[in-house]
Structure 1
Amino acid sequence: MPLQVINQLGMCYCSMGAMPAPIIVTSNQTVFCSSQLAATIMDFAPIANITPFGACATLTAAASGVPTPCVPATTGPWSPGSPTNTIQGFPNLRDCDVLTCAVGGVIMIQFAGQAQVDVD
């Protein structure tokens, strides 16, 4: 299946979170995909780009079952990003890219946010 560019309507999820969260594009204000801002691998900051995912399974278990918020603790940009397509010098974010959370989860793309737009 072809890879897709992620845009402002994209959704991601954490393997330890209880619910998906939107991707907020701040790395680009000029390039659009399906009439929405296109994301790059630099859209990885907690809260600014990646909002909380409900309750965190890891932190809830550590708190003896008391529901604990799944606030992303990202450790760097999304990886690997597009090897050939860039926006303002940063690789496009694609639906196969992942983001590591220092708490132990892996953040992945659930929905690209647009109709089929293939990239490499």
Structure 2
Amino acid sequence: MGNPAVVSEALCMCSFGLAPAVLQVPPATKVVIEGRPAATIANMTPANIPTFDMCNTLSNPEVAAATAAKLGVLTPMPCVPVLAPWLPMTTTTIGGQPALVAGSTCLCAYGGVVEITLPGTTGVLI
């Protein structure tokens, strides 16, 4: 059996973020599951995942600069995710892109691992 499909308003979390983010999926794909637009692996832009509130990794230049200014005391700064496409891919496509399913992860350029915590649906893609 497959994993549940991910839809708009699913929750995701970054390992270096301080709060979960709500995935926003535009209705452009025209595929709806349980009343919400279905997500694809391409839904990883700032329009889809704007922030995880604050970032707390020194690999983020803003966090490193703020921490240096505070003489080494870790100082989280506003999160602006820089994400790679989601993995793993499925064979099911939506608008020519692999569908996003629960269990998928993506990486932030600053080293964080983003994962789907609540897919927003119970529907399983085949």
Task: Tell me the TM-score range normalised by the shorter chain.
Answer: 0.7 to 0.9
Partner of 1:37: 37
* Amino acid of the structure 1 residue aligned with 2:85: P
Between Structure 1 and Structure 2, the one with more helix by share is 2
What TM-score does the superposition give when structure 2 sets the normalisation length? 0.82
Q: Distance in 1 between matches of 2:27 and 2:42?
A: 6
Partner of 1:99: 106
CA contact (8 A) 1:26 1:43 kept: no
Q: Deviations over 1:44-63 (max 9, x none)?
A: 11x21112111112048632
> Structure 1 12/65 Cα, relative in aligned 2: closer, same or farther at 3 Å?
same
> Structure 1 41/28 Cα, relative in aligned 2: closer, same or farther at 3 Å?
farther
Partner of 1:26: 26
Q: Among all aligned residue pairs of Structure 1 and Structure 2, give the percentage whose two residues are the same amino acid.
A: 36
Partner of 1:69: 78
Partner of 1:117: 123
Q: Deviations over 1:6-43 (max 9, x none)?
A: 00120111011011001111384300011000000010
Instruction: Please state if 1:90 is matched with 2:97.
Output: yes
Q: Which runs of 5+ in 1 are unaligned?
A: none
Q: How many residues end up aligned between the 2 structures?
A: 116
Q: Distance in 2 between matches of 1:61 and 1:41?
A: 28
Partner of 2:89: 81
User: Which of 1 and 2 has greater Rg?
Assistant: 2
- 4+ residue runs of structure 1 moved beyond 2 angstroms? 26-29, 59-62, 64-67
Matches within 5 A, 1:11-22: 11-22=11-22
* Amino acid of the structure 2 residue aligned with 1:92: A
CA contact (8 A) 1:50 1:72 kept: yes
What TM-score does the superposition give when structure 1 sets the normalisation length? 0.86
